[in-house]
Structure 1
């Protein structure tokens, strides 16, 4: 299990991540919907994650959500790199009632995000636009290339939950052990 503490003037975060876990999480960000999304991510990625964030929520949720993404992405990178004996590529489409979101990703060590989940407004007090900020922080700090795209849907809660779950399942599949692959790159390094 990897542990990281990050303290800024805006947030104080401590987190521990076990990539090959059992889906257990203990998350306290002060943002109820975000905690719910991270719990879903952990369950479907099969991660164990303990995370505490004390942020400047009186300003808004942006700093806390982005900084949690930075910490989770950094922990993920230190847990999976150097890449060896894993599938490397993963994809998933997750359905939540009328909503369906697809995620395709590559543990490439070349971060890139395509995020086509066009939502505005809020779910509870959570600004929908902050999900993109979270995923950008994760993929940049983890060295992942990810394409997250809405296939269909209307309900904001369903679309956001499908987004987090699709990312989780695709990531779990990309991290699947495969000893026959060695380093899964024709370059010999990632």
Structure 2
């Protein structure tokens, strides 16, 4: 199986960056907060090779003698080794930025052993660093970047790619090694579903660990508004594009979207290790909605909500029940929904918001308890 690699910068990532950007004395050495605790957990628990990759400007010159560098470098390596972190490789470039050396980050000259090598899975490897050049290195390797943003645009004068383009390479931006560990341990839960019938053409992209971004177009504005609640209040990224036979009826569009949405949730949840599994009641003015969900592998719906209006916006109220029933079929989930109130718009919006909150609770994972929440041994 191809090996994944963490290409880790040194100064500003493993140790704090000195004021003059040159670590040439033990008196300047200060390790990055929490790096020992969480890099040792990464080394022990996760299946990555570790490679230290660092630019050391002018190493070996009069202004940066070898002996002062190696005193601190060897101390750093030994300190990590004592905490169970052993770097498989260490790559050091000695050039200045103006040299444009092929070995200097963000160029890949030092890392040729990994390129076009089937022994390594660069697509699922990461570069971890505090300079935008580390992000561009990830792009040049075909890997992903974890950006430790200590200073704005540090290294920005050495990149050949626009900052906008590099944003797509960054999978996590943080200055906390605990967040890095949790991200690498949990990994992103994303899924894509394409569902095409004679009546509808649906594509859905889901990131369960997103930030609440949505791009939803079903052709039914009120339905779009309700689906947007799932992304926003569930703190997940959701892209739903639907072309349905609305000239016939709304039924097929709503039903098939719900089925596909349930299927994409089931796919993104994967093995379900560490999830809470269960998960809300939510007031909205005159209305109270209670939603409980169980991603337990079986579909069931309990629905206690009455609507007197035939339509809200362009959406038939009879399709509310059908939407959630179809979702449970696709997601293989139990869903219990109760709602009361007088304003019917508020009532269904409260249901969708509570539904989103219930999902948010249920899909949350605990990095300390990555076990299956079932006595049966399967979900």
Higher strand share: 1
Indicate the residue corresponding to 1:98 in structure 2.
286
Aligned residue runs from structure 1 range 163-174, under 5 A: 163-174=351-362
Pair 1:29-2:218 in alignment: yes
Cα separation, 2, equivalents of 1:50 and 1:72: 10
Q: How does 1:23-172 map to 2 (within 5 A)?
A: 23-90=212-279, 92-120=280-308, 121-150=310-339, 152-172=340-360
* Distance across 2 between alignment mates of 1:87 and 1:176: 6
Structure 1 segments unaligned to the other structure (5+ residues): none
Structure 2 residue matching 1:118: 3-state secondary structure: coil
SS at match of 1:102: strand
TM-score where L is the length of structure 2? 0.49
Larger-Rg structure: 2
Q: Which residue of 1 aligns with 2:204?
A: 15
SS in 1 for 2:369: helix
TM-score normalised to structure 1 length: 0.95
Gaps of 5+ in 2: 1-189
Q: CA deviation at 1:81?
A: 3.1
CA contact (8 A) 1:87 1:181 kept: no
Instruction: Give SS of 2:275's match.
Output: coil
How far residue 140 of structure 1 moved from its aligned partner, in angstroms, is 1.1
Match of 2:257, SS state, is helix
Q: Which has the higher contact order (CA 8 A, sep 6+)?
A: 1
